[in-house]
Amino acid sequence: MSDQRLFRKHPKNPILTAEDIPDNAAMYVFNPGAIKVKDEYIMILDVATLAQPIVLWIARSKDGVNFTPDPKPISWPKPDPLHPEDCVYDPRITLIDGEYLITYASSNAEIGVRIGVIKTVDFETFERVSIASELGNRNGVLFPEKINGLYCRLDRPFGNPRDPSNIWVSFSPDLVFWGKSKLLMTNRTAHWDNHKIGAGAVPIKTDKGWLIIYHGTTTTGSGIIYRLGVAMLDLEDPTRVIARCDDALLWPEHPYELTGRVDNVVFTCNAIIEPDETVKIYYGAADTCIGLAEANLSDLIEACFTQNPFILRL
């Protein structure tokens, strides 16, 4: 890999802040899902309201840089009575069979967190599909097509949220009942992703395999650092990792990424592929604001297969 950065951060970063939310309703904005629908970019972002609960809010753009939030947050579907929600966050948007399926963290302070699924066809009205995991699971990300007739999902089950955790893959016939779960990818000793890892963007289908952009953490004396990296899964069997980049490709370095609601964080829930194969990601920065970074798809694919010569391989 060359010493040139693969992800280029936009000079207007942060491109969206709490000040952009109408009626002074927000303390922080972060971790958006995003998709391009015809000529419109749509983000569904986490908004920490003044009362603290996080709600999901849509922002729209024609150029992919200048976003206008809707006047109000999403009119959220009524919660599952068996799992009341008092906080929803970290949405991922996947287009399958003409519907936009949105996976998200469905949280209740007394019960815990699970993966929820809602759907929409127009980003105006939303319908609940399911609460689709056991307690103690989040970072649910759907593949953009069925695998052998089944929905396929990356997720991150965990026990104590502070403990190390890894990426798993699961399958479902109906987005309700999930099984055939398998450990997919683990954290790596002495790497940037040596503590917690979790799926980020919806997997990208390429001729080399499924490209995944994921987050990883490492612990330091002053806290946890979140960075982003890439790996490649087999096209026919996404339970098999065929390549994984040694290096972090995006990391916190600027003041808006280093200091905020949660320090030292870059975190993505999306990737948009432009016609020229530019990959756009909108990322949460320090759980406080939203940045934009871009890379070339071919560079990200190549990075998966590139080893860092400075890593000791015993």
DSSP β-bridge partners for residue 107: 87, 113
Element (H, E) at 8: strand 8-9
Is residue 150 a contact partner of residue 176, using CB atoms and an 8 Å limit? no
Q: Is the pLDDT of residue 38 over 80?
A: yes
**pLDDT tens per residue across span 57-101:** 999 999 999 999 999 999 999 987 888 999 999 999 999 999 999
3-state secondary structure of 125: coil
Band the pLDDT of 312: cuts 50, 70, 90: confident
Return the percentage of the chain with pLDDT > 90, whole number. Answer: 89
Q: Which residue is associated with the tokens 């009575």? A: 81
The pLDDT value recorded for residue 4 is 65
Return the percentage of the chain with pLDDT > 70, whole number. Answer: 98
The pLDDT value recorded for residue 82 is 81
Q: Is the pLDDT of residue 17 over 80?
A: yes
| CA 224 – CA 198 distance, rounded (Å) | 14
Query: Global pTM?
Result: 0.96
Is residue 92 a contact partner of residue 142, using CB atoms and an 8 Å limit? yes
- Which of 19, 195, 31 is closest to 103 using CA atoms? 31
| CA 304 – CA 298 distance, rounded (Å) | 10
- Region 139-156: mean pLDDT is 97
Look over the chain and give the mean of its residue pLDDT values, rounded to a whole number: 95
* Contacting residues for 310 by C-beta, under 8 A, at least 6 apart: none
Q: Is the pLDDT of residue 2 over 70?
A: no
User: Which bin fits 44, alpha (ψ -120 to 50), beta or left (φ > 0)?
Assistant: beta
**pLDDT tens per residue across span 200-247:** 999 999 999 999 999 999 999 889 999 999 999 999 999 999 999 999
**pLDDT tens per residue across span 45-59:** 999 999 988 999 999
Q: Is the pLDDT of residue 160 over 90?
A: no
Q: Is the pLDDT of residue 314 over 70?
A: no
More confident position, 196 or 312:
196
Q: Which residue is associated with the tokens 């979790």? A: 198
- Which of 301, 296, 257 is closest to 280 using CA atoms? 296
CATH annotation of 16-304: 2.115.10.20
25-62: string of b/e by CB count within 10 Å (b at 16+)? bbbbbbbbbbbeeeeebbbbbbbbbeeeebbbbbbebe
Q: Is the pLDDT of residue 157 over 60?
A: yes
Per DSSP bridges, beta strands 167-172 and 272-273 are: unpaired
Q: Is the pLDDT of residue 3 over 80?
A: no
Q: Is the pLDDT of residue 192 over 50?
A: yes
| CA 183 – CA 168 distance, rounded (Å) | 4
Q: Is the pLDDT of residue 281 over 50?
A: yes
Q: Is the pLDDT of residue 148 over 50?
A: yes
Domain locations along the chain: 16-304
- Which of 279, 301, 286 is closest to 34 using CA atoms? 279
